[in-house]
Amino acid sequence: MNIFAEIEGIQYTPFACRTLKEYNLSNLEDAFKKNATFILNFDKNNKFALSWWVSPKRTRSYPYARVYDSLAFQGKRVTVIPVLKDEGKDGDRDFIQWDTISLMSLLGVYVIISYYKEAQKNLKFENKITNQKFDFEHIKQELRAISSYQSDALHWNITQIEKIREITEKALQSYRRISKKLKVKLHSKKEIEKRIKEVLTEKNSFINYSRDLAEKAQIREIRTIQPKESVEGQKVQITIKNYLGGYYFFTCDEVIIQNDIIYLIECKHSKRSILPSKADIKDGLLKMILYTNLKNLKINDRKFQHCAILKLTTSQSFDSDRVKKLDFLGKIQIESKQNNFSVTINNLDLESLIK
């Protein structure tokens, strides 16, 4: 089953965002150490809601939850993403993809594509590094440009794409210095340069190559149910087209079709806790932003009405009385009602559960 839909724009009001701490520009590095998302007082005229990604890969460290926490801010929302992250030959290596930048554009989030400049040796592995730190001077420079930028996030993010070759070269130079200093072997230099050449020769090749990677990842995910997921229905592909003709490739955890209505269900599961973690739930809420804004949803040219559902499950004994007391769930219930989607916990409707 392949679902196709369109998004013309985003209308959504979040309620579960955490209260963000404020930092001045002089304390930017300290803010990164202590917070995944925060308010940055850039100067007397500019404040940003700033989040940052540990890795350019979307499945690591809940980057969607970090971005979600910035969405209640009424000013410019900014997220910092490393163009690549190499953990060393004994670790992972991830590259940024066009679809990530496109999604941020869709959400009105300004992307700063940056790079890691420093790291420490991971003492548990011979060829692995940890505690990687961004080039904060580069981030400050980009924030300065955003502070006076008059166009929207989409246009800014396009200019970031045009800088990817330059930023990638800086990242590679930093990793060469780190490798020499720490005497740690990183992933193949030739392979990295080959991938960079394939992706970054020009903007269009970057878009097409990343789109191909996203499609392949989508297919892999459909074939695999992760251990933390508890799903009953069918996992399917969903392809979303925006008003500019850009495509986003996702997987929907579970789909149920009844008559002319299709239920798009995002599943979050916990084996040990009374609920999935807040970060996991916020990751799911970001999918709700997409699903609640879909238009012209079709399967094989047949149009369907659709409903979005965030399905939370636990494998331990469920204590409904204890769940009712969780303030976080009250915020989620308000958010679901305001934005026209449903939330279930172990197949019980959240709205009826917390009354």
Residue 333, amino acid: Q
Average pLDDT value for residue range 79-91: 95
Average pLDDT value for residue range 210-231: 60
Instruction: Give a yes or no: residue 131 inside a domain.
Output: yes
Q: Are residues 55 and 201 located together in one domain of the fold?
A: yes
| DSSP state for residue 152 in the 8-state scheme | -
**Percent share of the chain, pLDDT over 90:** 57
H helix runs in the chain, sequence order? 28-34, 63-68, 98-106, 136-147, 153-161, 164-182, 189-200, 203-223, 278-291, 320-324, 327-339, 350-353
Q: What pLDDT does 198 receive? A: 61
Average pLDDT value for residue range 117-130: 95
Of 31 and 353, the one with more pLDDT: 31
Which of 184, 216, 248 terminates a domain? The answer is: 216
**Percent share of the chain, pLDDT over 70:** 85
Q: What is the pLDDT of residues 282-334, one digit of tens each?
A: 999 999 999 999 999 998 889 999 999 999 998 766 666 777 667 888 899 99
Q: Are residues 186 and 78 located together in one domain of the fold?
A: yes
Which of 216, 235, 259 terminates a domain? The answer is: 216
Average pLDDT value for residue range 49-71: 93
Whether residue 232 has pLDDT greater than 60: no
- Extract the tokens encoding 302: 């047949």
Q: Are residues 249 and 152 located together in one domain of the fold?
A: no
How far is it, in rounded angstroms, from Cα 299 to Cα 260?
11
Q: Are residues 156 and 196 located together in one domain of the fold?
A: yes
> How many domains does the chain fold into?
2
pLDDT band at 228 (very low <50, low <70, confident <90, very high): low
Angle subtended at Cα 338 by Cα 315 and Cα 325, rounded to the nearest 5 degrees: 40
Instruction: Give a yes or no: residue 6 inside a domain.
Output: no
Instruction: Give a yes or no: residue 1 inside a domain.
Output: no
Mean of all residue pLDDT scores within the chain: 87
Q: What is the pLDDT of residues 241-290, one digit of tens each?
A: 877 666 777 888 999 998 889 999 999 998 888 888 899 999 999 999 99
User: Which of 211-215, 340-344, 347-351 shows the highest mean pLDDT?
Assistant: 340-344
Q: What is the pLDDT of residues 156-176, one digit of tens each?
A: 998 898 888 899 899 999 999
Strand order of the β-sheet with 261-270 is 302-303, 295-299, 2-7, 234-242, 247-258, 261-270, 305-314, 342-345, 348-349
Residues 6+ apart with CB under 8 A from 30: 23
**CB of 352 within 8 A of CB of 344?**
no
Instruction: Give a yes or no: residue 22 inside a domain.
Output: no
Q: Are residues 169 and 249 located together in one domain of the fold?
A: no
Whether residue 209 has pLDDT greater than 70: no
Whether residue 215 has pLDDT greater than 90: no
**pTM, rounded to two decimals:** 0.88
Residue with tokens 């809601």: 49
Instruction: Give a yes or no: residue 139 inside a domain.
Output: yes
Query: Domain limits at 253?
Result: 226-353
Which of 216, 235, 270 terminates a domain? The answer is: 216
What DSSP string describes 64-96? Answer: HHHHHTTTT-SSEEEEEEESEEE--TTS-EEE-
Whether residue 30 has pLDDT greater than 90: yes
